[in-house]
Structure 1
Amino acid sequence: MAVVIPTALGALISYAAASAFFWHFPHFLHKRKKIAFACAHISHRGGSAEGYENTLKAFRNAVKKGTNMLELDVRMTRDRQVVVFHDPTLTRVAGRDLPVAEVDYDALPKLKPTIPIDTIPGETFSDLSWPEEERKIPLLREVFKEFPSVPINIDIKENDIQLIQEVSKLIHEYQRADITVWGSFNSEVCNQCYDVNPNVCLFFSAKRVLVLMICAVTGLLPFIPMKETHYEVFLPLSLKKRRLKQVIDLSLSEKCLLWACETFLLWKPLLNHLKKRGIHVYLWVCNDSEEFSECQKLGVTGIMTDHPTLLRDFLNTSKSTE
């Protein structure tokens, strides 16, 4: 026993020292990610508080406001067309209680004149000056064609290998592998994305984010290889404010969950280590100056917003005061 304790203690000390060293100097173990773009301003669904979400006109407005990246969602229709659409059904945004996957593309309805913004509880977007044709659900091909040089962040909303393959074909056709990020909350979908096209930037799935946090706390993180290039997670402050719009007070379990997210999800040493490995950090969905300021304090790479104009004004003001 007298020999075992010093040996175990020595091993623990050696492990801690190695972890600390590679935490600060990860390039000795891992090649730094080389990403061809840097995006401080990201428009969530094109800016769903300033336009009909995931439409070409909303994307045009975001680009006009100086966004660095468009974030969008994709699904497949019954006739296997890749469309830019978030929800599994047409109910919320188009008023038809039908799954997108059960409707042919040409039969898809236009978006409703008034749409609830699901990331801002109680708020809607409506602009009757928009022609009905501008409320059309677009094809991913149309977005790629109109914005050939704009980085695009794609959330794959279905566990469908054909969808992933078709998106990959479009990325190849429009020669934009170096300015596209894709992935899903679903780890299986993320793995399929990487297998189909490892040349496209990939964001972490929810499962992989959890693994990262566990590895960070235990000191294993510096030794873990990562195929992903983008760490995209929600800002706990934004989630808390959104939840408080729906209830008077948070439950104990919700408070504990938020504490865990604030403590580990955005742990500054974790974010700094990821950035040293060349991984970009994006936070969503941030919609006011308090949330934008919180992102800046954390030193994130990019901020994802429903309000492209507000974020652009904030970034311009921040830059002018530096």
Structure 2
Amino acid sequence: MEAVCGILVFLIAVGVYVACSLYLLRNPLIIHRRKRLEFYCRHISHRGGSGEKIESTIEACTHAVDVGTEMLEMDCHLTLDGYVVISHDENLLRQSGNDQTISSLKFQDLPLYKDKLEVTFNAKHYSSGKDRRFALLEDVFQKFPNMPIVLEIKENNDLLIKKVSFLVQKYGRDGITVWASEKSDIMVKCQKENPHMPYMFTMRRGLLLLLLFYTGLLPFVPLGESLLLFYLPRIINRTYIPEEAILKKRFVVYLLEKLTMRKSLFEHLIKRGLQVQLFVCNEESDMAAAFSIGATGVMTDYPTLLSNYIAKHPPPPPPTVY
């Protein structure tokens, strides 16, 4: 009899937990305060729009802004003489043909980009442009003072983080510049250096997010992050050819899509004031898929294409809290 009562109590407790979790998943503001960001971006240009101009150049960013982008995404590194440079790679071989690192060269000695550069997320397609110079982060901040920017820190470099934070504060951009990094140890340093900047989920925190979601604990847990940036899995092995062998397996990509592209997860995050951006969408069908699954924003290498898509298929207006 005691065993039966114990099982009954356990089942009731589980039922109450599940009911509370589901209710709070749909109504998170009962226990959480909504984040209020200074931006709401549907249109994000990856590497400044690397499909239409040479990636990460001033020309690329200018073009993206001119055709209607609402946010720029870029990466930065530190030169030998201490300048913060916009570049996806630390090693310059892919971009310039020179097998040297940015950190080993002074800014004035950096080579030019190649005449034509393959678009990483659109295999066998190339971009070109008049501007082939590596850009300084400070020049980007000066030219686009009000443009939100996702700024990825790839190197665990304390001086780089300090200089980026200094420039953000110098130009009063704390609320519209997002700390980005896949690595949690780097993100901890970024947050410590400038806790006023919004920041994205790292890889480790993203995995924890999924664990919390599938165990039902997510509605009860506070979140410091403001952005969730993630691959749209359907692009893998189609427009994007990954280097990782495991991502070349069709079943792995299928499983990744089923586990991560959860509309109820995205809706929960959005209700809490976070933004969900899926990348890198370089075809209209992928843009449509990203918005349909609940993304607040889409990141692309082709800002003109995305602007045209949004003009033809306007998404819902942003929440009034923004």
Alignment TM class, shorter chain as reference: over 0.9
State the match for 2:92 in structure 1: 90
Give the 4+ runs in structure 1 shifted more than 6 A. 250-253
Task: Give the superposed CA RMSD.
Answer: 2.0
Structure 1 unaligned blocks of 5 or more? none
Question: What secondary structure does 1:201 align onto?
Answer: coil
State the match for 1:116 in structure 2: 118
1:256 Cα deviation after fit: 2.3
Q: Deviations over 1:105-141 (max 9, x none)?
A: 11111111121222221222234xx1xxx21111100
State the match for 2:207 in structure 1: 210
Q: Which moved more, 1:255-264 or 1:272-281?
A: 255-264
- Partners of 2:228 and 2:246 in 1: how far apart? 28
Q: Deviations over 1:27-60 (max 9, x none)?
A: 1222111011111111111111110100001100
Q: Deviations over 1:4-25 (max 9, x none)?
A: 2122222212211221121112
- Partners of 1:152 and 1:36 in 2: how far apart? 12
- Partners of 2:286 and 2:139 in 1: how far apart? 32
State the match for 2:225 in structure 1: 228
- Partners of 1:223 and 1:3 in 2: how far apart? 28
Amino acid at match of 2:168: I
Q: Deviations over 1:226-265 (max 9, x none)?
A: 110000001011124235799xxx9997222212221121
Aligned pairs (5 A) from 1:98-137: 98-127=100-129, 130=130, 134-137=131-134
State the match for 1:304 in structure 2: 299
Q: Of residues 10, 13, 17 in structure 2, which corresponds to 1:11?
A: 13
The TM-score, its normalising length taken from structure 1, stands at: 0.92
Aligned pairs (5 A) from 1:1-322: 1-127=3-129, 130=130, 134-242=131-239, 254-319=249-314
- Partners of 2:127 and 2:240 in 1: how far apart? 20
Question: What secondary structure does 1:309 align onto?
Answer: helix
- Partners of 2:222 and 2:232 in 1: how far apart? 25
Cα 1:16–1:185 shift into 2, 3 Å: same
Amino acid at match of 2:215: T
Cα 1:318–1:104 shift into 2, 3 Å: same
Question: What secondary structure does 1:78 align onto?
Answer: coil
- Partners of 2:214 and 2:126 in 1: how far apart? 40
- Partners of 1:195 and 1:223 in 2: how far apart? 25
Question: What secondary structure does 2:186 align onto?
Answer: helix
* Residues 246 and 252 in structure 2, CA contact (< 8 A), matched pair in contact too: no
Cα 1:251–1:69 shift into 2, 3 Å: closer
- Partners of 2:138 and 2:241 in 1: how far apart? 39
Q: Deviations over 1:192-232 (max 9, x none)?
A: 22222121110111111111111111101111211100000
- Partners of 1:7 and 1:245 in 2: how far apart? 49
Structure 2 unaligned blocks of 5 or more? 318-322
Cα 1:92–1:245 shift into 2, 3 Å: closer
Question: What secondary structure does 1:319 align onto?
Answer: coil
Question: What secondary structure does 2:179 align onto?
Answer: strand
* Residues 154 and 180 in structure 1, CA contact (< 8 A), matched pair in contact too: yes
Q: Deviations over 1:60-114 (max 9, x none)?
A: 0001101101111111112221110001200011111011111111111111112
- Partners of 2:265 and 2:296 in 1: how far apart? 14
- Partners of 1:244 and 1:104 in 2: how far apart? 33
Cα 1:71–1:251 shift into 2, 3 Å: closer
- Partners of 1:263 and 1:196 in 2: how far apart? 36
Question: What secondary structure does 1:115 align onto?
Answer: strand
Aligned residues: 313
Question: What secondary structure does 1:43 align onto?
Answer: strand
- Over the matched positions of the two proteins, sequence identity in percent amounts to 36
Amino acid at match of 1:307: Y
- Partners of 1:57 and 1:2 in 2: how far apart? 72
